[in-house]
Amino acid sequence: MKNYFLVGHPLVHHKLAYLRQYKTGPKEFRSLMEEVTTLLLYEATRSLPTVDTEVETPIGRARGKAITEKCDFIVILRAGQGMVTGALKLIPSAKVGIVGMYRDHNTLQPIQYYCNLPDNLGARHSIILDPLLATGGTANEVINLLKQEGARDIKIISLIASPEALNTLSHTHPEVEVYLASIDKGLDANGYIVPGLGDAGDRLFGTD
């Protein structure tokens, strides 16, 4: 069963095209990543439960809806840092957890070097922020970690994924929904997404 969702909004496509361009500098890259993150998060939170409520307007009372459950953002360092501001603009009350992982260049396997998660993950929705899903190994390990800490509802927001990553996640964590702007062709010999957008962390911080 498919567990990924391509967000086909024209604004997402437009902004992603500029993110991909090699001549887009760090300042513009950061702004675009924040904006695309907000648009993807809007789609990813459509299923949040609500209850009926009433509010007082300057003229009278009006019926409305109130979200009943809270969210945690789980940021994968370092590229995921570029998504936090865009996510918090939409849900400023969310707690933010940090997981630091790097990929071994020889084995392409993720290695964890840092972890600081909110308490009581099971009481809220966990939304992983990671701009690129290449092999899927890092996201897979972070999901395992969240489940060990009691997370019960997990989603991923990513700009671009490879078919290989989505295949991995559909087998290991089929219940985890992935929200994307694009599915690219595949991976090169070094495990980078083709055509992708390069190293997201380097482009965010101008270290490429």
The identity of residue 157, as a single letter, is I
* pTM of the entire predicted model: 0.93
Report the alpha-carbon distance of residue 8 to residue 71 in Å, rounded: 24
179 near 158, Cβ under 8 Å? yes
| Number of C-beta neighbours around residue 64 at 10 A | 11
Report the alpha-carbon distance of residue 96 to residue 94 in Å, rounded: 6
Task: Tell me 123's DSSP state.
Answer: G
Model confidence over 11-65: pLDDT tens digits?
A: 999 999 999 999 999 999 999 999 999 999 999 999 899 999 999 999 999 999 9
Query: Given pLDDT bands bounded at 50, 70 and 90, which one contains residue 148?
Result: very high
For the domain made up of 4-47+70-205, the CATH class stated in words is alpha beta
Query: Given pLDDT bands bounded at 50, 70 and 90, which one contains residue 110?
Result: confident
Report the alpha-carbon distance of residue 95 to residue 74 in Å, rounded: 9
Task: Give me the percent of the chain exceeding a pLDDT of 90.
Answer: 85
Model confidence over 52-106: pLDDT tens digits?
A: 999 999 999 999 999 988 999 999 998 999 999 999 999 999 999 999 988 777 7
pLDDT, position 1: 54
The identity of residue 4, as a single letter, is Y
Query: Given pLDDT bands bounded at 50, 70 and 90, which one contains residue 111?
Result: confident
Q: What are the CA-CA distances from residue 139 to residues 18, 24, 158 (Å)?
A: 25, 26, 10
Report the alpha-carbon distance of residue 127 to residue 119 in Å, rounded: 15
**Pair type for strands 95-103 and 110-116:** antiparallel
